[in-house]
Amino acid sequence: MSEPTVGRSLSRGAGRVLQVQQAGLVLVIVLLGVALTAFAGSHADPLTGRQVNNFLNANTLLQTATDASFFAIMAAGATLVIISAGIDLSVGSVFALSGVTTALALRAWGLEGGGAVAAGIAICVGTGLACGLINGGLVVGLRVHPFIITLGTMWIFRGIAFVTSRAQSILVPDALTDAVKASLGLSQTLAPIPMLAMVAVAVAGWAYLARMVPGRHVYAVGGNVEAARYAGLRVGRVLIAVYALAGLTAGIAAFLGGAYYGSASCADATGYELYVIASAVVGGASLAGGRGSVVGATLGAVLITLIRQSIRTLHFDQNYEWIIIGCAIIVAVVLDQANARFAQRRMAQAAGAQSTDREDSR
């Protein structure tokens, strides 16, 4: 193969990589990781005495992934809602209610061992799914904007968690903590289960949106709801399904979070709505609907966690965390709108060029 041919092949390959929606996000994550590695400093390992980078070590990296996993899993479901041109502000409250319900039920039943783990998963996921179905049913049945509906249910769900738990932190059985903190053959200080669950949810979300017909229906409804309705799609069912999946993922995250930290309370996941929506938007989801991906939301969650980690590692004032995340949301939305206008301009130019070619051929 000649050098020009090789060059063209490499150029095409690089172009395909750059065209991938998440390529820029991955690049930012890598650059931020490199910066943290360079400026984080080091400490002496208490066991070996060797100098270990404060960021680039197994414990810190896995803890960062664990911190990201809880709201990244919720962001997967919330992204489906955003793609459908909706919004779900209640995911943090669903997390709290699912965790409190599970902890109360397991304490009342006195379950231990594998039975407690199985029951905990079923109750958490079932509670989250029920909350999601309530959200979807209210949005479709009342025909009220989802912002208003989920704003209301956000307070309702957290209020129920507050009343039922009496504002107390409720311990979960040790069997749940042992299961979620299992080392899986790694060092006893490492707990990869939340990270693996995050990856599994991201893969399942990718398969749902990219490889399954219901996932394509979500894009159709978010892109143009009237066109989707005229095409014969049952829009109401699609909307109920995405809110149900958002509740389901919040239930999964609640089980992992409650088991990992060993307790559940009505204050759990307070403010997670910001992280979840920010993860989806930074990951490429359009608040206008019709565009987004679960993989992008997962990467967005990792990026936001790295931002939080950098503030702690570099000893910056943690009060700036909210400011930085808010700026990230605004920048992501502005870039999304600019990209949409650029795409429309290119489509218009391409359509004009085609019409000119037809006239010339005549």
Kindly report, residue by residue over 98-136, the tens digit of the pLDDT. Answer: 999 999 999 999 888 889 999 999 999 999 999 999 999
Helices 58-83 and 294-313: angle between axes, nearest 10 degrees: 140
What local confidence, expressed as pLDDT, does residue 343 receive? Answer: 66
Decide if pLDDT at 171 tops 80.
yes
Lowest mean pLDDT, pick from 6-20, 156-170, 243-257: 6-20
| Residue ranges of domains in the chain, CATH in brackets | 62-336 (1.10.3470)
What local confidence, expressed as pLDDT, does residue 73 receive? Answer: 96
Q: Looking at per-residue confidence, does 215 or 24 come out higher? A: 215
Decide if pLDDT at 46 tops 80.
no
Which residues make beta-bridge pairs with 283? none
Distance in angstroms (rounded) separating the CA atoms of residues 91 and 74: 7
Average pLDDT over residues 151-166: 96
Average pLDDT over residues 349-354: 70
Backbone angles phi, psi at 182, to 5 degrees: -60, 135
What local confidence, expressed as pLDDT, does residue 7 receive? Answer: 43
Q: Looking at per-residue confidence, does 245 or 59 come out higher? A: 245
Average pLDDT over residues 327-350: 72
What local confidence, expressed as pLDDT, does residue 319 receive? Answer: 77
Distance in angstroms (rounded) separating the CA atoms of residues 70 and 189: 19
CB proximity list for 353: less than 8 A, separation 6 or greater? none
Q: Looking at per-residue confidence, does 354 or 306 come out higher? A: 306
Is the full-model pTM beyond 0.85? yes
3-class SS string, the chain: CCHHHHHHHHHHHHHHHHHCCCHHHHHHHHHHHHHHHHHCCEEECCCCCCEEECCCCHHHHHHHHHHHHHHHHHHHHHHHHHHCCCCCCCHHHHHHHHHHHHHHHHHHHCCCHHHHHHHHHHHHHHHHHHHHHHHHHHHHHHCCCHHHHHHHHHHHHHHHHHHHHCCCCEECCHHHHHHHCCCCCCCCCCCCHHHHHHHHHHHHHHHHHHHCHHHHHHHHHHHCHHHHHHCCCCHHHHHHHHHHHHHHHHHHHHHHHHHHHCEECCCCCCCHHHHHHHHHHHCCCCCCCCCCCHHHHHHHHHHHHHHHHHHHHCCCCHHHHHHHHHHHHHHHHHHHHHHHHHHHHHHHHHHHHHHHHHHHHC
Distance in angstroms (rounded) separating the CA atoms of residues 18 and 38: 26
Residues above pLDDT 90, as percent of the chain: 54
| Residue 353 pLDDT class (50, 70, 90 cuts) | low
| Residue 284 pLDDT class (50, 70, 90 cuts) | confident
Q: Fill in the amino acid letter for 9.
A: S
Of 12, 61, 5, the C-alpha closest to 33 is: 61
Q: Looking at per-residue confidence, does 41 or 192 come out higher? A: 192
Does the CA dihedral 145-332-299-320 come out positive or negative? negative
Distance in angstroms (rounded) separating the CA atoms of residues 238 and 241: 5
Q: Looking at per-residue confidence, does 285 or 6 come out higher? A: 285
| Residue 243 pLDDT class (50, 70, 90 cuts) | very high
Question: Across all residues in the chain, what is the average pLDDT?
Answer: 86
Lowest mean pLDDT, pick from 88-102, 235-249, 275-289, 329-343: 329-343
Lowest mean pLDDT, pick from 143-157, 166-180, 334-348: 334-348
What local confidence, expressed as pLDDT, does residue 17 receive? Answer: 39
What local confidence, expressed as pLDDT, does residue 359 receive? Answer: 64
Of 171, 163, 350, 192, the C-alpha closest to 264 is: 171
